Chains A and B, each alone.
Chain A
Amino acid sequence: MPLYSITVNGKLKNVEVSSDTPLLWVLRDHLELVGTKFGCGIAQCGACTVHLEGNAVRSCSLTMDAVDGKSITTIEGLSENGTHPVQEAWKELDVPQCGYCQAGQIMTASAFLDKNPKPSESEIKAAMHGNICRCAAYTRIFKAVELAATKIS
């Protein structure tokens, strides 16, 4: 099996897995980073969202072949102690219900605000549209992204 080197949350990691292994399962099963969640496996729900070179991507549908040598940030590495403005906003508004999708929501929101720190209402809705929250905590997710934007800018 091929050997892959990826940088995860600033640390270089080597893993030996079959080339079609999705990044998601390397993170969860090999690197013990279980904050990134499995939801659908086909890039439709956003629960597995991580940052690849700063862009929000669906780790369930990116094979190790596609990410070899690249830099990845997961929810565990977004900030030192949950102090990223998006995480702070999530705490302030008490967003989660079951909480399962929230890491993916936060990773989508943080990459989005990084590129668009002063978004309009419809830009926020469009950016977050790819992330399903089955508990439907959508109103708070929306407000938290709005709040995070004020913290960033």
Chain B
Amino acid sequence: MSTPSITFSRRSFIRTSSLASGGLLIGFNLFTACKPKVTPPVDISQLNFNDFNAFIKIADNGAVTIFAPNPEIGQGVKTSMPMLIAEELDVAWDNVYVQQGDLDTNNYTRQLAGGSQSIRFGWEPLRQTGATARQMLVNAAAIKWGVDPSECTTSEGVITNASGDTLGYGDVVKEAALLEVPENVTLKASKDFKIIGSDAKNVDLEKIITGKPLFGLDYKVDGMVYAAVLRPPAFGKVLESYDATEAKAMPGVIDVIKIGEKAKELTKEENSNWTVAMSTSDKVVVIAKTTWEALKAKEAIKANWVTETPLESTQDQDQKLLALLDGNKFNTLRKDGDIKKAFAQAEMVLERTYESPFLPHNCMEPMNFFANITDEKIHLVGPVQTPEFAANAVAGMLGRDVNEVHLEMTRMGGGFGRRLYGDFVYEVAEIANVIRKPVKVIFSREDDMTAGTYRPAIKYRIKAAVKDGQVTAYHLKEAAANGNMYGLIPNFFPAGAVENYQVDVANYNSSITTGAWRAPYTNFLAFAEQSFFDELAETMKVDRIQLRLDLLQKVKGTTDKRIEYSPERMENIIKVAVEKSGWGKKESGIYQGFAAYYCHNTHVAEVADVIIENGMPVVKKVTCVVDCGIVVNPLGAKNQIEGGIIDGIGHAMYGDLVFEDGAPQSQNYNNYRLIRMMEVPEIETHLIQNELSPTGLGEPTLPPAGAAVANALKAATGNRFTQQPFSKFPEMMQTKSAPKTIIG
């Protein structure tokens, strides 16, 4: 790998300051220069995060603190992003202390958790940051010794010159702070990485396993009160009137108020049409001294609701989506060749429809947020994946300057896309603005599951034409609620591999709030597509692996810049998965299913092994091959990979949120099933070793999991699943008919 020389256009990329407590504060801007008026603080305890908060702190004793800029939802970026800085700073990882940075739009960009993009976008800038700081420390040492900086080397926070003299970073931090910021730094070659590629444990591990306060729900300040919010019982209903007499008389209740006016203004704003996914109804809020008292008094409120928009049921949704698939009101997202002609000339046509339900996110930590609003400041604390958007929205809805907003991010008890939507932030801001006390809004599990921004039900219809043993046409149609697949998804496999190719999408407006859910769109599209190719191979009577490899062959050397996936990397993961899973070589009684998929810039192949236990199919093992480029933290990576696969299997098997008259029919885990320990297969992970820039892992292993399992279930039972969740069809799990022979 080459060692790129990086040039910074502005000298203010890094600002330095001596700390009153000793040591050096190196302030840096990850992507653009710091604003000229920004002054670094002299005392870390006096640090104003709104002015300046992006920094590395090096103490006199050489201890290093790195502030992690991005929200941590369990995907591991609080560990992996500082690893990139520490690598180029050349310090021992064990000596690095990591702290969560607050929202600071002056000094950070893209403080967002979503789309598996944090590592991909942070890869270059975070390493440049560390390398620049390292060069300043080396320059300071070189001046002290009277030698050229090029004669000095560094290792684990110690600088060594040609004569063998050494100085620790802590010994030269004061001098380094006074130096010019170097404009050119050289990044390490990947062969010299010491931290990148080594196993690093979760930086919050010790705190997590001893129960220290870390999460939004754990945050507390003196005088804080709790708010429980009564929201509409069904999507489409709004508040007409309420009686809080009984609730107000209950123990611990401070007040009962109505909110909604400010939020309504927000939904009218056109600054985003998808991030503000929330009800326009007024809501009734119980303010109480404790969580339990607030939640309990909420139950005692008598509210009248009126229907404002049609109340949807799952049956209506199914009919609407199928009508869209049958109709002709599509937007064409990609069109190659002439599918109509190819289907007319086909020797064989396969067409299948795939159907999925609504899904709630079900983060283990229910939605919650803290706010304290005064005339001077808006203090917000809690778990949100989009802190910048939330801060702007709150300032906007309250008519305040965004500079008055101080937003602190807590560790998040899961995100999965739910915390991209700040409805709970707007709620608490509106409450705090009225009561002018520090307050935390808390969702019960029932609130969390029934006031969601769900993964919408989607149906796909895929049709392929075969002529002379070749796939000559591929037509993908999508019908969805509220939105359609976006961006580059139509350019995923098999785009470019089939001459006549078309992707058509349609949607209807649902009154149910919907949004991103771990691996948006591909979380079900992968199931449809990889199930379809499995069946297509069976219908064509060809080897199912070879069919995929033959198609990939046609994409190699493509000049089509829109094609997103790499046919070479896809081919490689498929071949490695075949080898590692013992594909086609397993003893009888093990039924295998295959899926390979590209999304979120990462290529993944999965093979599911199903066995029959007591007459029922059981997923025993999943072999997974992942190409995500350089693996920054293999220990964390494997955790993400395993979690993604199990999550994918769990939701394909059990996930199902049914609506009746606008109301979700599941409210808690007694009637909503999540995958649990006894249903979890063994997972064997293989990471492809290469020197390509890293891509993310929070999402990519989830989408193919459902297809790998469905294809294995087909092999085991003879039945092909085209609808999720599989548990809705217990008769298909029976193995009464002898399993068909697997081809390939």
Contact = CB atoms under 8 A, between A and B. Distances in A.
A87 B210 CA distance: 8
Contact of B678 (A18, A34, A97, A125): A125
B205 A125 contact: no
Contact of B73 (A44, A98, A106, A142): A98
Interface in A21-73: 21-22, 25, 28-30, 32-42, 44-45, 47
B292 A136 contact: no
Residue in A82, A99, A137, A141 whose Cβ sees the most chain B Cβ within 10 Å: A99
A3 interface: no
B674 interface: yes
Given A25-B291, A132-B669, A126 B678 contact: yes
B630 to A, nearest CB: 20
Q: Which one of B211, B642, B645 has the greatest number of beta carbons of chain A within 10 Å? A: B211
B211 A138 contact: no
A130 B215 CA distance: 22
A102 B677 contact: no
B139 to A, nearest CB: 37
B191 interface: no
A113 interface: no
Nearest to A20: B296
B209 A132 contact: no
Given A100-B414, A137-B639, A138-B646, A35 B212 contact: yes
B217 interface: yes
B209 A87 contact: yes
Contacts of A33: 211
Interface residues of A, number: 59
Contacts of B212: 35
A106 B205 CA distance: 13
A75 B210 contact: yes
A12 interface: no
Contact of B74 (A44, A99, A139): A99
A88 to B, nearest CB: 9
Contact of A99 (B199, B293, B362, B413): B413
B215 A100 contact: yes
Contacts of B205: 90-91, 94, 96
B363 A134 contact: yes
B162 interface: no
B604 interface: no
Interface in B184-212: 199, 201-202, 204-206, 208-212
Contact of A139 (B213, B251, B646): B646
Q: Which of B76, B204, B643 has the largest number of chain A CB atoms within 10 A? A: B643
B683 interface: yes
Contacts of A44: 668-670
A89 to B, nearest CB: 10
B404 interface: no
Given A82-B206, A126-B678, A136 B643 contact: yes
Interface in B283-298: 290-293, 295-296
A99 B208 contact: yes
B444 interface: yes
B414 A131 contact: no
Contact of B674 (A1, A81, A103, A132): A132
B535 interface: no
A8 B372 CA distance: 32
A136 B680 CA distance: 9
Interface string B674-706: 111110101100000000000000000000000
Given A100-B365, A129-B678, A132-B676, A34 B213 contact: yes
B635 interface: yes
A15 to B, nearest CB: 11
B209 A76 contact: no
Interface in B203-230: 204-206, 208-215, 217-218, 220, 226
A135 interface: yes
Contacts of B677: 125, 128-129, 131, 138, 141-142
A137 B73 CA distance: 14
B514 interface: no
B678 A35 contact: no
A111 interface: no
A87 B416 CA distance: 27
B445 interface: yes
B600 interface: no
Nearest to A104: B364
Contacts of B73: 98
A139 B683 contact: yes
Contact of B209 (A20, A38, A82): A82
A139 B364 contact: no
A140 interface: yes
A91 B201 contact: yes
A101 interface: yes
B208 A102 contact: yes
Contacts of B57: none
Given A91-B205, A98-B364, A98-B412, A38 B217 contact: yes
26 contacts: A29-B226, A29-B290, A32-B220, A38-B291, A39-B366, A40-B668, A41-B446, A44-B669, A81-B210, A82-B210, A91-B201, A96-B202, A97-B75, A98-B364, A98-B415, A99-B202, A100-B364, A101-B364, A101-B413, A102-B209, A131-B677, A132-B676, A138-B642, A138-B675, A140-B642, A142-B677
Given A100-B363, A134-B363, A135-B647, 12 more contacts: A34-B213, A39-B365, A91-B205, A91-B209, A94-B199, A94-B202, A98-B363, A99-B413, A100-B215, A132-B364, A134-B416, A141-B677
Which 3 A-B pairs give the minimum distances between C-beta atoms? A35-B211, A98-B74, A100-B413
Interface of A: 1, 17-18, 20-22, 25, 28-30, 32-42, 44-45, 47, 74-76, 81-82, 87, 90-91, 94, 96-103, 106, 125-126, 128-142
